[in-house]
Amino acid sequence: MLEIASNFSKDVKINFSKNRDFTLYSDTLPQKFLLNVVDAWQMLSATFKSESTEKTYYEHISRWLAFLKERPKHLVWCYVELNSISIQEEFLAWQNLLTEYRNYILESYPKVEQIKTRNNKLVGVRKLLEYLTYKKAIPHGLILNGWKEDHRLGQGTTFLSNDFYQLINRSKHDLQKLVDLLDDNDISLDEDVISFIKHTLEYTEDDSDFSPTSLVITSLQSRASQLKNEAAKDYFSYIKATNKAKEWANDIKISAIADTFHKVMLSNDYPHSKKHLYDGVLEGNSIPVLVNYLIRYNEGRLLLNEDPRYGLLWNAERMVQYNYNREVIRWHLGCSNYAIVCAFTFILLETNANTTSIWELKESDLIDCDINYFQLNWTKRRQRGHEAKHRILPMRVDKLSPQTLTVRDVFIHQIECRKKFLKNVFERDREYLFINWHKNHIKNGVNKHIYVPTRPTLECFNRIFKLLCKKASNDVWVTTPKAIRGSALLLTGLITRDATAVMMEGQHKSLNMGKRYTYHYPEIWLQDKEIRSFLNWYQALLTINIEGFAEKIGIDPVLYAENKELAIELHQKETQKAINQQFGGIHCIDPTAGVQPGTKVGSVCNKVDRCPTCAQRRGVFVTSTNNLANVIQWHETLQQLKHVLNDDDFYKWRVWHVFTTLIIDTFLKDPTHARLVRRANEKAEVTQNPYLSLIPVNEVIT
């Protein structure tokens, strides 16, 4: 037993001087399994960056091991001891054990408001399972599921007034239903944007020619433009100021005065007797002299409050008399948190990356591709890990100005500004782009506090970001970085009506988020009656076999039932006729009905741009190879058309583009249609595309 115990406790020491003893579980758990746990813990603990993380994970894992200890006769131990070759049986035994543990956690924290606690308790166990799987101590593919939290719309949209809900004929509960389980931690909209829409709707005459969509687009464009312009202008000023500081540092005359100032600072004379000396060196030259002094005598950094010169330099009376302050000195030294937030904002608006992704940029994330382009890399956090992202942007060719400023200019200048901190930076933050004096005290070991440069927190960024908003808008509005990004994606959705464009702009993995911005919000705000009418029809078209669909996404169940019954009725009566009367996947009841303006009864309708919203469209989609191949070919044509036409000319085809995008995305996501999709793609490839010779292409040519 002593030999076993020594095996479990040896070398289980991590970076934070903690020895973790696993002998507590050796009386019931198999030795082979516990040795694997020890090895897995050693590998896991090597990844920890803080003592608190180590402590949290150890508590999670200890609880799990205690749970296992109470089940010495569980079936899993048979497979551990006997090295069973029945992989399926072993997998089921382990999966059942993990399910039991999940239920145990649920019983320990049964309340709804404890969901977050429940999920947190599984984090450390999941990580250990990953390393145990790597060690081949447990089967691959085991799942320890958490619990879904009540996802909310985002700051701003969750605090709307009741009269706004009445205005849009939706309840707060209805709005919540429209939100999918998002794989994005950075989505939000502004309460004041929605309030602005509400106010405009309330004070607009019913018969006036008013477009809420146009209003929202104009508002969001103006806001993003104001913020980006202000960030660019101020950061350009920051670059000029730091360049001027270098000139001052190399100026012989200013350096001589700064040398005199240094002697005054070190003099043992009483402060009141030095007044005439200060007058001689600071009168009319305070900022150039002090900046020169700090660059040459303090490595370009501000004095710490522990420095004996601190009180002399930042004497309140002297600062007023000689007209200088901390922020101006910081600005010229390249130590300004406000300037860092300007850089952060500019990069955010240029890339539309997540706020956390930009906050976590590292010095190596900028790569020059060639003389014309550069690449910015970043990491996007996801629910199940991280994903590498990048964007390729053009180099600046004109002289540097607020209008020509690029992400590369900002990035390179931040690299230069951070150099002065690298000697003393907190080690965990060494690689980050944004480093500055931020917190007065950073804990470094037991009962010891030191003052070092660190990466400013997101809370700090948010606080200063609001100051930038006030400055950009002349105190009209204030928002957060997350909300600005959400508004930018909404703007993309409103302008393009293209979920794929939103997906690309927001670096999402699927069309779910794009659909939310492109279709859901416009539906909620009643911004486009044509799109809304089309979506109501489309919901019934594709979902007539899904039980409880209406309740699941928050649409009117009665209206949905009517659409569903109509679709089924049309399908039963005219299936055969429908197959022969289709365009791009939408089937017409009677192409010769003459219902569209400009067409005659008895003549075949040629207004194919209006099919998705036409009263003659059928409420069914024929899931055949030919029909889906038609949609694929039509979608390809629309994609080409979208790149050739300007926005105004493409406008009448936007609903068609929504339709083909939704159809293809829906079938691709459903594994039961995999064979159908494969055959349809093959059919589309080998068959000449008939849509290339129709109206869209003719319009482009003429």
pLDDT digits (tens, 9 = 90+) for 644-691: 777 677 777 877 887 788 788 777 877 777 888 888 888 888 877 767
Alpha-carbon distance of 58 to 64, in angstroms, equals 10
Asked whether residue 248 falls in the same domain as residue 117, the answer is no
Are residues 324 and 399 located together in one domain of the fold? no
Q: What is the pLDDT of residue 654?
A: 76
- Residue 181 included in any domain: no
Residue 392 phi/psi, 5-degree rounding, is -95, 125
Give the domain-ending residue among 134, 156, 189: 134
Q: Is 442 left (phi over 0), alpha (psi -120 to 50) or beta?
A: beta
Q: Are 393 and 418 in contact (CB under 8 A)?
A: no
Please count the helices (runs of H) and the strands (runs of E) in the chain: 32, 7
Contact predicate 105/121, CB 8 Å: yes
pLDDT at position 253 is: 93
Check residue 434 and give its pLDDT. Answer: 94
What pLDDT score does 447 carry?
46
pLDDT on residue 621: 65
Same domain membership, residue 637 and residue 618: yes
- The pLDDT score that the predictor gives to residue 67 is 92
**Are residues 540 and 427 part of one domain?**
no
- Residue 221 falls within a domain, yes or no? no
| Same-domain pairing of 561 and 462 | no
Q: Tell whether 452 and 571 lie within a shared domain.
A: no
- Model pTM? 0.48
Q: Is residue 25 located within the same domain as residue 123? A: yes
Cβ atoms 27, 70 nearer than 8 A = no
The three-state secondary structure class of 510 is: coil
In the predicted model, residues of the chain with pLDDT beneath 50 are: 1-17, 150-213, 440, 447, 491-505, 507-529, 531-532, 535, 539-540, 542-555, 560, 567-568, 570-581, 695-702
Q: Do both 353 and 285 map to the same domain? A: no
User: Has residue 366 been placed in a domain?
Assistant: yes
Pair 287, 345 in one domain:
no
* Backbone phi, psi, residue 436, to 5°: -165, 170
At residue 30, φ and ψ (nearest 5 deg) are -60, 140
Please provide residue 389's backbone torsions phi and psi, each rounded to the nearest 5 degrees: -130, 160
Could you say which of 286, 302, 333 is where a domain stops?
333
Concatenate the DSSP letters of all residues of 351-406 into one string. Answer: H---HHHHHT-BTT-EEE-SSSEEEEEEEEEETTEEEEEEEEEEPP-SPP-TTT--
Whether 173 is in a domain gets the answer no
Quick one: 681 and 536 in the same domain? yes
Count the neighbouring beta carbons within 10 Å of the beta carbon of residue 536.
16
Query: Which pLDDT score is estimated for 413?
Result: 96
Both 375 and 329 in a single domain? no
Query: Do 329 and 409 belong to one domain?
Result: no
Choose one of 110, 134, 158: the last residue of a domain: 134
Structural domain includes residue 168: no
The dihedral over CA atoms of 637, 632, 574, 563, expressed in degrees to the nearest 10, equals -90
Q: What is the extent of the structural domain holding 343?
A: 337-473
What's the number of domains the chain is made of? 4
Is 696 among the domain residues? yes
